[in-house]
Amino acid sequence: MPWWSQVTWDVARAGGFVAYGLLTLAIVTGLLHSLRWSGERWPRLVNNEVHTHLTLLSLIFTVVHVIAVALDPFTAFRLNELLVPLASHYRPLWMAFGILALYLGIAVGLSTALRPRIGYRAWRMLHFMTFAVFVFATIHGLGTGSDSRTGWATAIYALSTLAVGGLATARLVVSKMIPRIRLAGAALLVMLAAGGAGWAMAGPLRAGWNAVANNGQGSGARVPVPGVATASAQASPLPLSTAFEGAYRVRSGDDSEDGGIRVEVQASLANGATGTLDIVLVGQDAGGALAIQSSEVLIQELSPSKATYQGTIAGSRGSSLVLDMAGDSNGASQKMLLALVLDPSTGTAHGTITPATGG
């Protein structure tokens, strides 16, 4: 891929995790301050000052994260996709949680700056939104992050949640609220933590999350498919026949959320058709070629038919890959041929999609 794409991608990932870590520390120091924790070498006032500066730093690195994502030529997000919840072409629901976290974080920061004008009570109510920022940021990171299934990323999310959840529960227990309400609140926090852990293990931390997160949409020299069986007989072909062009990314080892080698292609349709093509190939190195172990293909044709096709690679035919696709109109499994060419010098991908005919 182009060096600029690699830089923006790495900065986006690093910026996101740094912002999340700073947010966690900001909440922890804020809770310690409210619990009146202090020591001989760490006066209570320090907690408050550190809390304020960590909150500001977290917001700054969040902006760095957003700018890097906006500049990344591979993801190619439009401005509205980064600012409007559910407008993203990539995992819109999980992106929406990040956008909401950004807006709530800005609101919390403004409430602190405007505290002399809005009063203590209003500031306190707005300040409680910090917990929503943390929850939304956690869901966003797990749901969209390519590093979510790595051990270190899982540890960050788990330890952060335990620290914030544990201190929040302790703060609730020692509050002056009615005992019954305190108990109910503590029980609710435990239930939310257990539910979140269950969702993470059943979703983002399991293989195949990419298909669930965005209907199979992934974020690419021609890719041989050694060891994959030839396609079998098919139903009548789908009508789509078009060229496409876009970009691709190759990840391997720790940089691949599925392990092994992961190739992600994101392209736009051409030749009279408008829409997108997204491909994810996961496999192992087979002497310079990719031995595909799993795949996801999503075609969203905006015109002329406004159809969506989703499926996998079923085999190869000559220099083309055979796609086993289902259209959203009838759901019947049908075959298409994909000629895919990847240019490692530019990080670009192009090729054609045509109906498969014959056996």
Question: Does the structure show a pLDDT above 70 at 1?
Answer: no
Range of weakest confidence among 39-48, 129-138, 213-222, 246-255: 213-222
pLDDT of 19: 95
In this prediction, residue 358 has a pLDDT band, given cuts at 50, 70 and 90, of: low
Are both 8 and 86 inside the same structural domain? yes
Are both 51 and 189 inside the same structural domain? yes
Q: What is the C-alpha to C-alpha distance for residues 208 and 298, in angstroms, rounded to an integer?
A: 14
Question: Does the structure show a pLDDT above 90 at 135?
Answer: yes
Q: What is the C-alpha to C-alpha distance for residues 147 and 15, in angstroms, rounded to an integer?
A: 13
Winning range, highest mean pLDDT, from 75-84, 87-96, 127-136, 184-193: 127-136
Range of weakest confidence among 35-39, 74-78, 212-216, 338-342: 212-216
Are both 157 and 275 inside the same structural domain? no
pLDDT of 232: 37
Are both 110 and 246 inside the same structural domain? no
| Average pLDDT value for residue range 327-343 | 77
Beta bridge partners of 313: 323
Question: Does the structure show a pLDDT above 90 at 272?
Answer: no
Q: Which domain holds residue 86?
A: 3-206
233, 317 in Cβ contact below 8 A? no
- Whether residue 313 lies inside any domain: the answer is yes
Question: Does the structure show a pLDDT above 60 at 330?
Answer: no
Are both 140 and 21 inside the same structural domain? yes
pLDDT of 221: 28
* 226: its two tokens: 């050694």
Beta bridge partners of 282: 262, 294
| pLDDT tens sequence across 298-317 | 888 877 777 788 888 888 77
In SS3 terms, the chain reads as CCHHHHHHHHHHHHHHHHHHHHHHHHHHHHHHHHCCCCCCCCCHHHHHHHHHHHHHHHHHHHHHHHHHHHHCCCCCCCHHHHHCCCCCCCCHHHHHHHHHHHHHHHHHHHHHHCHHHHCHHHHHHHHCHHHHHHHHHHHHHHHHCCCCCCHHHHHHHHHHHHHHHHHHHHHHHCCCCCHHHHHHHHHHHHHHHHHHHHHHHHCCCCCCHHHHHHCCCCCCCCCCCCCCCCCCCCCCCCCCCEEEEEEEEEEEHHHCCCCCEEEEEEEEECCCCEEEEEEEEEEEEECCEEEEEEEEEEEEEEECCCCEEEEEEEEEECCEEEEEEEECCCCCEEEEEEEEEEECCCCEEEEEEEECCCC
Burial class (CB in 10 A: 0-12, 13-18, 19+), 222: middle
- Whether residue 211 lies inside any domain: the answer is no
| Average pLDDT value for residue range 214-241 | 43
Question: Does the structure show a pLDDT above 60 at 253?
Answer: no
pLDDT of 263: 87
Winning range, highest mean pLDDT, from 43-47, 207-211, 235-239, 354-358: 354-358
pLDDT of 74: 67
Are both 249 and 121 inside the same structural domain? no
> Which phi and psi angles does 337 have, rounded to 5°?
-110, 135
How many angstroms separate the Cα of 112 from the Cα of each of 50, 105, 127?
14, 11, 8
Considering only residues 37 and 251, tell me which one the structure prediction assigns the higher pLDDT: 251
pLDDT of 177: 67
Range of weakest confidence among 44-58, 127-141, 248-262: 248-262
Are both 148 and 237 inside the same structural domain? no
111, 124 in Cβ contact below 8 A? no
Considering only residues 215 and 159, tell me which one the structure prediction assigns the higher pLDDT: 159
Are both 27 and 172 inside the same structural domain? yes
Question: Does the structure show a pLDDT above 50 at 237?
Answer: no
Are both 237 and 317 inside the same structural domain? yes
* 72: its two tokens: 């990344």
273, 304 in Cβ contact below 8 A? yes
> What's the number of domains the chain is made of?
2
Are both 179 and 273 inside the same structural domain? no
- Among the candidates 171, 186, 206, a domain finishes at 206
In this prediction, residue 233 has a pLDDT band, given cuts at 50, 70 and 90, of: very low
| Average pLDDT value for residue range 64-90 | 85
The per-residue pLDDT of the chain, averaged, comes to 79
pLDDT of 159: 95
Those residues with Cβ within 8 angstroms of residue 172's Cβ, 6 or more apart along the chain or in another chain: 182, 185, 186, 189
Rg from Cα positions in the chain:
24
Are both 35 and 183 inside the same structural domain? yes
- Among the candidates 206, 232, 248, a domain finishes at 206
pLDDT of 27: 92
In this prediction, residue 256 has a pLDDT band, given cuts at 50, 70 and 90, of: very low
pLDDT of 104: 93
Are both 201 and 220 inside the same structural domain? no
In this prediction, residue 84 has a pLDDT band, given cuts at 50, 70 and 90, of: very high
- Whether residue 278 lies inside any domain: the answer is yes
